[in-house]
Each structure stands twice: as structure tokens, then as C-alpha cells.
Chain A
Amino acid sequence: MKMSRTFKFVYKLGIMLVAALAALLMASIILWMIGADVSQTFYTICFLPLTKTLHMTEVLIRAIPLCILALGISIAYRSGIINIGAEGQMAMGVLAFTAVALAAPDLPRPLLLPMALLAGVLGGGLWGFIPGILKAKLKVSELLSTVMLNYIAAQFYTFCLRVLMLDPAEKMTGSGTPQSMRLTANIELGRLSGRLHYGLFIALVLAVLVYLLMWKTTFGYKMRAAGSQDRAARYGGINVSKYLAISMIISGGFAGLAGGIEIAGVHRRAIEGVTNNYGFSGVVVALFGGLHPAGIVPASFLFGLLIYGSTLAPTRVGVPANIVQVMQGLIIIVIVTAQMVLSNKYLEARMCRRWNALFHKQKEVA
């Protein structure tokens, strides 16, 4: 039986609408309970950011790291390893990036910027390689190792910012903000508008590259085979542990790169909290995007929107940030649920038959 395009469209739209309504309803109840202005709040979180260029650029600068992280996470996931250590890998990337920038501030930009970004990739890659090799060789659960490495990375990051890389100016004035000095202009990524930087293009190019790598090359084929059924992959002559470790290096490398770009494009110095939970949101974005670049790109935009919108809410409508986060959580769960329903082919086929029946009946009447 063929499904008409109209049906597919209506079906998807229908489910998305139902999901959106459900999310809206639940969030409204919460807002209503704390006595906030429901419609204003929604407007602020979901639509206000889309109305002005400045807001849009802010949404996009959040989408960039999310997208790069999620791409990396999807590679690992497809290869059979769940990387929830992107947060730590990103921090290590930031450190490596900053270290290069601090060490050789006088190198010309065409040399220094790529070098620093590469250092970021290596820093993150190393942090990804550790759980990868532990799992491949010793079957250590990656959930355990990545989470623990997140802790280590977080503390190491703080230590570096407070001691090794602390801004000399801070030492003098003594305000105590743990951050590095402002890095040389030679590591800066150019900006398009507002704070929006060229990382946008890097993210999009990476999305295309990941697609090609995973679905068009033998390398990606083998990684996916290893991730889908490791025994079959082994039987087929694929070195499963090798691809597991490699996928984690790539995944960590992406996270490190996201960190480097964040510094080069936005902050231009290593600051505390730079990873901003992107590593965890990245997991959600990757899953939400169906572990496919074509889904991850729009998903990261959507999450960028939510994250930015929620920073606006406290000042604009006086809804506390905690409540916004609760709402965010709810919205995400509802959307992900809707997506699971959407991917249920049986339901789709059944609805299609109903639709056809309806359609044909109407024809007869006419």
C-alpha cells in the first residue's frame, strides 16, 4: 500500500501538534501554579528570540557547540558506546586550546588558530580515548568511566583556571574571578553579526562530513556494524575494539573542538562554566536528532532556542530560571515521546488505512 504525501504530512503535523499542545498544557499548569503570566512566558521563551536579529544570533551561538557535540556523540552512539563524557571532553578541549594560545601568542593567526583548534581536538580526543580503550580492551562500562572522567576534567579545569592559567590581572586586583587572561587576537574566529561567529559554518560542514563518513564510507559502515551487533561485526572480520576506540577518539575530538570554537568565537578567554552543560544537552540533541546529522542540525537549533529563551524569561517576565528549566525538561520529554510515536511504522500504517478509508468514502459521497 502506498502512503500518499499528503497523508504523511498531515500525520506528522498532527502528532507534532498534539505533542506541542500536551507540552504547552503541562507547562501552563506549572506557570499558573506559580502565578506567572502564561502566554507572556511562552512568547518570551519560544518566539521572542526569533523576532530580532540580535536574539537570533544568540540562539545560534548556543546551537553551534550543541551541534558539534551532538555530531560527535552520535558517532560514538552508532558505534555502540554511549558517550556522556562530552562535558569533560569539551573542558579538556578548552584547556588545550587555551594552553596553546597562551604559550605562543605571537604566532600569526593563520598558524595559531588552526594549531589551537587542533590542540582542542586532541585534548578532547584523549579524554574520549580513555573510556574508549577501557571499554574495548577491558569491557569497563563507558557510563562509569565517562562520568568519572567528567568529574576529573571539571576539577582539573577549575584548578587550571585558578592556578596555572589565572589571569595575572586578577592576581593584582584580586577580584578572584577564576579565568584566564584575554587571549591574543590571533586565535579569534571572525564574527558575522553580534557575537555570531564563523563556527556556524564549521558546524554545518562537520554535519555534512559526518553524514558522508558514517553512511557513505566503508569506515562508517564498519563502525555502524560494530555498534549495531558486535558479534556479527566480529564474525564479518571487523575489528570491533579498534572501531570502538576510534569512535570515542572522534567523539571526544568533536567535543574538544566545540570547546575550542566556543573560546575562539565567543569568550576569547577560558572562563568558568564555559561548558554550560552543553555536553549533556548534546546527548539529548543527538538522540532527538535521530543520531543523524540531518536531524541533529535542526535539533540543535531548537535546543539553542530553548536554552536562550530561558535566559530571557527571568528578566522579561519574572519567571525564575529554575521553573524555566523544569519546563524545558517537560517539553523535551514530550517532544521525544512524540518522536517515538512518529517512528512507529505500525501506527503509521494503521492511520494511513483509516485515512484512505475516510478519503474514499468522501469521494463516494461527492
Chain B
Amino acid sequence: MEHITKRFPGVLACDDISIHVGEGEVLALVGENGAGKTTLMNILMGLYQQDEGRILINGEEVRFRGPEDAFAAGLGMVHQQYMLVPNMTVTENVALGYQQAWKPLKLDLKMVRDRVIEISEHYGLQVNPDAYIWQLSVGEQQRVELVKTLCLGARFLILDEPTSALTPQETDELILLLKRMKDELSIIFISHKLNEVKALSNKVTILRHGKVVFNGETDDYSPQEIAALMTGHEVQLPENKEPDMHGAPALVLKDVCVRSDRGFLALDGLDLTVHEGEIVGLAGVSGNGQRELAEAINGLRSVERGTITFFGVNLANKNPYYVIDHGMGYIPEERNVEGIVPPFAIRENFILKDSDRERFSHLSFLKKKSIEENAKRLRDDFDIRCPGTSTSAGSLSGGNIQKVILAREITRAPKFLIAVYPTRGLDMGAIEFIHRELLKKRREGIGILLVSEELDEIINLSDRIAVIYKGKIQKVLPHAEANRRNLGILMAGVNEDE
């Protein structure tokens, strides 16, 4: 790609970017949130048209009018947000884009199925061609996306933050797999996790504000150096080294049972206590009840049994308004559909929970001025990259959407905070910032329940670490006793004490 420029209304997303990838090479594309990585790749795939610049494949200029053209040229992309149809099987999903199977009047599903099996065997990617997408975990969906892309004959893979929603094990597997595949394919790999970049790529390109600011061989630089190049300063993730606050219990869960969407008991007699001024990390492989736990506490899911005592009141089976009103802050897992109202302006999203407060409205008339001031302040404090506060939140880059949610929840001055995967998809600089904010809240005496799969994040920040497995707390470890190894074992469901 040479001299690619792309403008969106009010933003210059890509500014004269040139990159090139050789055969069998892995190029890592890194950069801050909103730097233009996804946009650049969407241009390469023909989803957007560049305003300037050209794309060359094997020395020949190409113009893709749509993703079909890109597929035909052997390009394939796995998107940041997976694009699978949930109530179709794996085979049917692959068939959607598989031109050869579309005979006149007939869709040759058998052929697609064989192809899926062939590909998954060839690359050692385990997928069940007959499973429905909604039955699969995020990691499995990831593999389906890969298989789908490969089935379409991709010789050039683009992976946009493929690991941000994977468990550590799944991530390791994926990296190994990609390493094996790179003899046969060229890969562009986008990630915020620099150790993955280090492990996988040959070359690294750093984007900032839509410009290439750095190009180099991966082997010559350490992850720290890349991070520093990316953010412009040395990144030092903070650690929780502060003394115990000895706070009173803020949130006490007793024997909580909750059903999942599919009807089984996702929480099965869960007990957990979080004190004021304490960060409790909830470690666990995703799908072990974390989401149901967060939803049950926040009134979004009904509780079958047990109590959720929050500063003396029982939150079980109350509505979300009641929970919010009692001072709960909640950073949800699904940022695009739950954390923000996508078509609403950024400033409107900031008052989602507080439109009734005197601060933002008087006699139910909204106060335009203070809403705008609030938005400007949060945008600057949290460094949200956007053309303006009236931009719709849905058009922001993934990481910036997350920052909008974090800014709102942290500055609402809650009495307690539930943070579910708060730094998923954020760049290193932003993670550092968020970690500092969380620790600041802790110092102010606020209890935090931190749900995360990032063991480093949990170990760095938590006072105590609870490991969740199949809807129960497996064990609670004080910070000093926790390390990657024993947490990993507990997360896999093995409890050595028993």
C-alpha cells in the first residue's frame, strides 16, 4: 500500500500511509486507539475506498470495489468485531461467502462442509462444522473466522486484534498456530499486546494519528521500546503496593444462583465479599459465570437464590435504576451494544445514567451548557480521540468507545465499581492511564470488583484475587500469594487444597 489517505467527516483517519509486506512475512501493525489501523485494513479489503494512494499486489496496481474483489485476490480478514451469523452453523457461515458453492438454484453445503474439514485438518484448527455459532465460545468463534477466511482461499491474512477477547490459553494456541501458518501465508497482525507482536512478527509498523511514525525489524526492539515508541513516553504499568485500607464490607454475595441465557445455572451458590477501598480481582476463563455475575448485581438478570448485600440493602432482583441509584458503577463487557447508545453523540452518552440529576437537567429540561462542559472535560481528561463531542459514539474506534464508558463510570463518583474487562482493546498508554485511575479510586475508599482474564492486570491491581470456576468461587488468594502459575491452575478448575 502506498501513500494511502482516508478522510472521515471531521477526521483524517489515514494520512499518507505506506506499508509493504513480503511473502511469508508477518507485519505487526500497532498504534494507539484511533490511530487508523482498522480503517487502513478496511481499505485494503475494499470495504472503504481510499481518497488517495494505491494498492499494489505483486507489483500490480489493484482497485477493490468491495470485499469480493479482495477475496478473489487472495486477501482475507478477521475483523475486530466478529461477523458471524449466530443462528447459523459453522458450515452455513462459511458458505455465505463461498462463491464456488453457489450453484444456480442450489447451495452445495456438502462441498463447503468438506472444505471446512479439509482446512481445519490442514492447519490443525479444531472446529465442528455443524455447531451453531451461538453455542461457541469467543475463542472458538475466532477459529471459525480463521477457517472461514482460509476456506475462501486467502493467502494473505489480516487479523484485527484477534486476541483481545481470547483467554490466555487460547491466545497461546492461536499464536502457535499462526507461527506454523506463516510459512505458507503472509500476515498483517494488529494487536495492542506487544509480547504477542514480539512473538509472532518479523516487522513492526507503528501508526499514530493516521501517520506511520516508525518502521523496523521486530527482533531489534523489546516490547518496552515498542511501547515507548508508540506512546511517546516510557510505559510503566502501576502496581498496587499500597497498604490495606481495612474498609467495611461494601458488597457481600451469599449463595447466589443465577441462570444463563441457555438455562443452566451459570452461578451456582457463589459467595464473595468486597470491602471498601479494596480491589478484588475476579480471575477465570471467560464463560464461567463472570458476565452473569455482573448482570445479576446490576439488576439486569434475575437471581434465583441468595442475597447480594450492597451497603446493607439487598440488590437481588432489583431493577437497574435502583442499583445505579444506590451508587453502583458498572463497566459492562459488551461495549458496543450495552455500554453506549451508538447513534447518540458522545456528550449524550456521558449522561446516560445521570440525565435526571440536577447537574444535567432542571425540572426535566436538559442543561445543554453543563452537558457540553462535562463532555469536553472528560474528552480531554481521558484523551478520547474524536472530531468533537457531538460525534456519534458508534463511529469511534473500539478503544475510544471503551474510554467513553470508562470516563462516564469513573467520574460519576460511584460508591462501588464493577469493571468487566475494562482494558480490553485499549492501547498500552490507555491501559496505564486506566490502571492509575482505578488505583486512585481505591485510594478514595471505593471498592472495586475487577473482572479480567489478563492475569498481569489482576495481579498488578488486586488486593485479593478470587478465582471463579463453573459459577463458584474456587479460592480467594491474598495478593502476596498469587502468581501466574497457581492462578492458572485454579482457573483450570484444580484446587490443590482439596
Contact = CB atoms under 8 A, between A and B. Distances in A.
Interface of A: 1, 216-219, 221-222, 224-225, 228-229, 231-239, 345-346, 348-350, 353
Chain B interface, >50% SS class: loop
A237 B364 contact: no
Nearest to B408: A236
B330 interface: yes
B7 interface: yes
Contacts of A239: 319, 321
Contact of A225 (B7, B9, B352): B352
Interface stretch (B210-218, B339-347, B432-440): B339-347
A237 B337 contact: no
A218 B351 CA distance: 10
Contacts of B339: 232, 235
B225 interface: no
Interface stretch (B353-361, B443-451, B471-479): B353-361
B46 to A, nearest CB: 15
B235 to A, nearest CB: 31
Given A232-B337, A234-B320, A239-B321, A218 B342 contact: no
B313 to A, nearest CB: 16
Contacts, number: 79
A345 B344 contact: no
15 contacts: A1-B7, A217-B365, A218-B361, A219-B364, A225-B341, A229-B341, A235-B298, A235-B320, A236-B341, A236-B352, A237-B320, A237-B325, A237-B353, A349-B9, A350-B51
Interface in B295-326: 298, 300, 319-321, 323-325
Nearest to A229: B341
Contacts of B289: none
Contacts of A234: 300, 320
Given A229-B337, A349-B9, A353-B51, A218 B366 contact: yes
Chain A interface, >50% SS class: helix
A228 B361 CA distance: 21
Interface of B: 7-9, 51, 298, 300, 319-321, 323-325, 330, 332, 334, 337-344, 348, 351-353, 355-356, 360-361, 364-366
B321 A232 contact: no
B274 to A, nearest CB: 21
Contacts of B360: 218
B9 A346 contact: yes
A348 B45 CA distance: 23
Contact of A235 (B7, B9, B51, B330): B330
B321 A229 contact: no
Given A229-B341, A346-B9, A235 B364 contact: no
B324 A228 contact: no
A234 B323 CA distance: 12
A1 B337 CA distance: 31
Contact of A228 (B321, B342, B351, B366): B342
A225 B344 contact: yes
A238 B321 contact: yes
Contacts of B351: 221
A325 to B, nearest CB: 34
Contacts of B321: 237-239
A239 B323 CA distance: 13
A232 B392 CA distance: 15
A59 to B, nearest CB: 34
B338 A232 contact: yes
Nearest to B324: A237
Given A218-B366, A349-B7, A235 B319 contact: no
Given A229-B342, A235-B330, 9 more contacts: A221-B351, A229-B337, A229-B340, A229-B343, A232-B342, A236-B341, A237-B320, A237-B325, A346-B8
A17 B321 CA distance: 50
A228 B319 CA distance: 20
Contacts of B348: 221
Nearest to A220: B366
A228 B325 contact: no
A222 B298 CA distance: 19
A209 to B, nearest CB: 13
A234 B334 CA distance: 13
Contacts of B51: 350, 353
A221 B343 CA distance: 12
B4 to A, nearest CB: 16
B355 A221 contact: yes
A353 B9 CA distance: 12
Contacts of A229: 337, 340-343
A218 B364 contact: yes
Nearest to B362: A218
Contacts of A346: 8-9
